[in-house]
Amino acid sequence: MSYRKQFRIAPGTDVRLKDFDPRYADKHEDKNAALQKTEQLRKRLDDLQYKLYAEKKRSLLICLQGLDAGGKDGVVRHVIASTNPEGCRAISFKEPSKEELAHDFLWRIEHQAPRRGEVVIFNRSHYEDVLIVRVHDLVAKKVWSKRYEQINDFERRLIANDTHILKFFLHISKEEQLERFKQRLDDPTRRWKISEADYAEREYWDDYTAAYEDVLSKCSTEDAPWFVIPADHKWFRDLAISEIIVDTMEKLGIALPAPTVDIADIRRKYHQTVKEEKKGK
């Protein structure tokens, strides 16, 4: 079974994250073999993204969500970084500004939606407005509870405009998260990521779990599916996401556009230019 089918949340599923093993790694006991396959997929992704950019008929939006240290930055770096930055953007949504708060919660999101021919990665996304705002009571329940359908409507509009959507929840265990926090403490090159909030947020683990379960249950649709990705093993996380993205893009039938000029005429001009420049030497 492909990972696209295995990890996809079918519409209407009542999701319980305890049913998903964050340490799952399929048959890939050999990390090096998995890394080799991921590298092959990255090269294929680079080729597909090149064709998508040239074709300019459709776009791809990738949403990454997960608890702190879940690996969102890692996915951007190890999976997406091989693509051409001219046709690919990574957007990280932080705490909204005063200007953003003065508008509808989707206002800042819509400004970053992909153009045709573009791949856009949301590192955190519009789903923060039914996650952190819910867990920390930043807005009333009567407000955030209506946002699931508003989000579904927003994504339907994107889809109608030829944007394809993939949404990945990076599922790590509580033990693995603590281990990654320790790695940040021990590694001077990672200490800049340390925040007191990292540990404080662990107190809300169950609340975030419930919030994510509602997101996955209410907002995984036929054309904008959620995938629950086992993420305790970084190398398997990257492999699974790479395969799902490549598999999805291959099914789109992306093709390079036909030339807009007379190739035979351009070739004649090229040979004539070469001939004349040789004479001039």
DSSP states along 178-243: HHHHHHHHH-TTTGGG--HHHHHHGGGHHHHHHHHHHHHHHH--SSS-EEEEE-SSHHHHHHHHHH
Residues 238-256, buried b or exposed e (16+ Cβ, 10 A)?
A: bbbbbbbbbebbeebebee
Helix (H, G, I), strand (E, B) or coil at 124: coil
Q: Which stretch of DSSP H or E encloses residue 36?
A: helix 31-55
Residues in the chain predicted with pLDDT less than 50, given as ranges, are none
What is the per-residue pLDDT for 167? 98
What is the per-residue pLDDT for 281? 63
The residues facing 60 across adjacent strands are: 119, 164
Q: Where are the chain's structural domains? A: 3-280
Question: Domain spanning 3-280 has what CATH number?
Answer: 3.40.50.300
Quick check: pTM over 0.75?
yes
Report d(CA 80, CA 61) in Å as an integer. 12
What is the per-residue pLDDT for 272? 87
Residues written for the chain: 281
What is the per-residue pLDDT for 197? 80
